[in-house]
């Protein structure tokens, strides 16, 4: 079998990650099954891309550190045991990671994570566009194939809590969930999640759940998108996306295996604007009301003139009054 360039580079990275000390180019070449010349060439490429690989005459190579580069080997290494469950696919460019999953899910495995370094036609909720910066942000979709009747809300809540917990590890306060699943920092959007499903018409079986996560990481997105912010703009330094992606996946896996009751209460505890005056936008109509609760099936519960109203995910958008 002929190995592609990216696969060889992933294998080199993986091999170097597992070594405590210097390792010879011959040993790497033997392990991967390609020539020494190819190893030399790809190591040079990796260095150009942002890997700090020290080389010593007679001793060989050692991976010292790396910058914000996207390679599946780096994510798998961090995922450890979970890498057996999740398959990572990284594309240089896609129109939309969600669209890719929805089109191809029948040929893909359950628990595949599709990541695009650059997303050309990112989709947001309500047909809006999702803008991200080339090779700076995270645009990824988790494909699940439950093949049974499932509570999709559990996946939606799990993904937003997974992103929230990952971001809180950076000691960022003032983060909250904006109903139903956006992550906000103060009044700025840091992450948006679009969950799409493919449901078999007659049996109502959920064939595919695609959880699309757009997280502004190392970009200066606030200069391009109104009311948006990136993690870099909050922290003042760049963060490795592979570390964020692996943390999100680990937490996500933990949350989907948690009882719905405890998930629901954590979701509600972190819900922004709860108890406050908000504006609910339904089509062209804007309703000023008070956000009083969220129902167990995920609807927003609002009160206006002593009248209670409930709205579901696809119906409305919400903003602070
Ligand atoms: C929203 O807030 O409106 C949801 C935005 C979701 C964006 C992500 S980026 C990865 C995935 N692919 C897409 O086309 N959209 C989602």
- Please write down the HEC assignment for all residues of 249-279: HHHHHHHHCCCHHHHHHHHHHCECCCCCEEE
Q: What is the pLDDT of residues 284-301, one digit of tens each?
A: 999 999 999 999 999 999
Q: Are 93 and 232 in the same domain?
A: yes
Ligand 1 touching residue 180 (CB < 6 A): no
Compute the distance from residue 140 Cα to the ligand 1 centre, in Å.
8
Give residue 16's pLDDT band: very low, low, confident or very high (50, 70, 90).
very high
Q: Note the pLDDT tens digit of each residue in 172-193.
A: 999 999 999 999 999 999 999 9
Q: Is 130 in the pocket of ligand 1 (CB under 6 A)?
A: yes
For 255-291, how does the pLDDT look when each residue is reduced to its tens digit (9 = 90+)?
999 999 999 999 999 999 999 999 999 999 999 999 9
Say if residue 78 is in the same domain as residue 216: yes
Whole-model pTM: value is: 0.96
pLDDT of residue 17: 98
Instruction: Give me the CATH number covering residue 133.
Output: 3.30.930.10
Number of domains the chain contains:
3
52 and 88 share one domain = no
Check if 216 has its Cβ closer than 6 Å to any atom of ligand 1: no
CA 216 to the chain's CA centroid: 10
Find out whether the beta carbon of 76 lies less than 6 Å from any atom of ligand 1.
Answer: no
Strand order in the sheet with 277-282: 307-311, 300-304, 285-294, 277-282, 317-320
Q: Give the CATH number of the domain where residue 29 resides.
A: 1.10.10.10
Do 154 and 55 have their domain in common?
no
Looking at the fold, whether 191 and 87 belong to one and the same domain comes out as: yes
Q: Which atom of ligand 1 is nearest to the CA of 99?
A: 14
Domain end (from 18, 44, 66): 66
Sign of CA dihedral 308, 312, 317, 320: positive
Query: Do residue 142 and residue 170 come from a single domain?
Result: yes
Q: Which residues pair with 93 in a beta bridge?
A: 118
Distance 85 CA to ligand 1 centre (A): 23
Q: Looking at ligand 1, which residue's alpha carbon is closest to its atom 2?
A: 192
Q: Which atom of ligand 1 is nearest to the CA of 98?
A: 12
Boundaries of domain holding 35: 2-66
Cβ of 214 less than 6 Å from ligand 1: yes
Query: Which three-class secondary structure state does DSSP give residue 154?
Result: helix
Determine whether the shortest distance from the Cβ of 178 to ligand 1 is under 6 A: no
Best mutation site among 95, 124, 133, 191 for ligand 1, i.e. most ligand atoms within 8 A of its Cβ? 124
Strand duo 138-144 + 175-178: pairing: unpaired
179 lines ligand 1 (CB under 6 A): no
97 lines ligand 1 (CB under 6 A): yes
Q: Tokens at residue 148, please? A: 């049974």
Q: What percent of the chain is helix, strand and coil (3-state, nearest 5)?
A: 35, 30, 35
Q: What is the CATH number of the domain that holds 300?
A: 2.30.30
Q: Say yes or no: 47 and 163 in one domain.
A: no
The whole-number average pLDDT for the span 208-235 is 98
Q: Which of 91, 98, 183, 195 to mutate to test the pocket of ligand 1 (most atoms within 8 A of CB)?
A: 98
Is the pLDDT at 238 greater than 70, yes or no?
A: yes
Res. 3: pLDDT tops 80: no
């Amino acid at each position: 079998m002929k190995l592609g360039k990216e696969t060889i580079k992933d294998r080199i990275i993986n091999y170097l990650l597992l070594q405590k000390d210097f390792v010879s180019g011959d040993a790497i070449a033997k392990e991967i099954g390609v020539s020494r010349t190819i190893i030399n060439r790809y190591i040079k490429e990796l260095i150009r891309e942002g890997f700090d690989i020290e080389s010593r005459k007679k001793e060989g190579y050692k991976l010292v550190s790396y910058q914000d580069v996207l390679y599946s080997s780096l994510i798998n290494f961090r995922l450890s045991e979970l890498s057996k469950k999740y398959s990572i696919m990284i594309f240089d460019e896609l129109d939309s990671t969600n669209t890719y999953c929805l089109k191809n899910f029948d040929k893909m495995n359950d628990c595949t994570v599709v990541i695009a370094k650059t997303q050309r036609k990112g989709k947001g909720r309500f047909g809006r566009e999702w803008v991200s910066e080339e090779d700076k942000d995270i645009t990824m979709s988790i494909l699940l194939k439950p093949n049974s009747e499932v509570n999709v809300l559990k996946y939606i809540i799990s993904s937003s809590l997974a992103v929230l917990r990952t971001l809180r590890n950076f000691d960022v306060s003032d983060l909250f969930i904006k109903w139903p699943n956006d992550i906000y920092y103060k009044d700025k959007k840091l992450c948006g999640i679009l969950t799409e499903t493919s449901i078999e018409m007659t049996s109502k079986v959920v064939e595919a759940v695609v959880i699309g996560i757009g997280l502004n990481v190392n970009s200066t997105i606030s200069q391009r998108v109104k009311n948006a912010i990136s993690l870099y703009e909050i922290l003042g330094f760049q963060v490795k996306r592979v570390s964020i992606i692996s943390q999100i996946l680990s937490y996500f896996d933990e949350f989907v295996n948690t009882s719905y009751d405890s998930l629901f209460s954590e979701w509600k505890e972190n819900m922004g604007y709860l108890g406050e005056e908000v504006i609910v936008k339904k089509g062209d109509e804007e309703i000023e009301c008070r956000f009083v609760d969220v129902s167990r099936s995920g609807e927003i519960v609002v009160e206006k003139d002593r009248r209670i109203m409930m709205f579901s995910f696809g119906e409305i958008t919400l903003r602070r009054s």
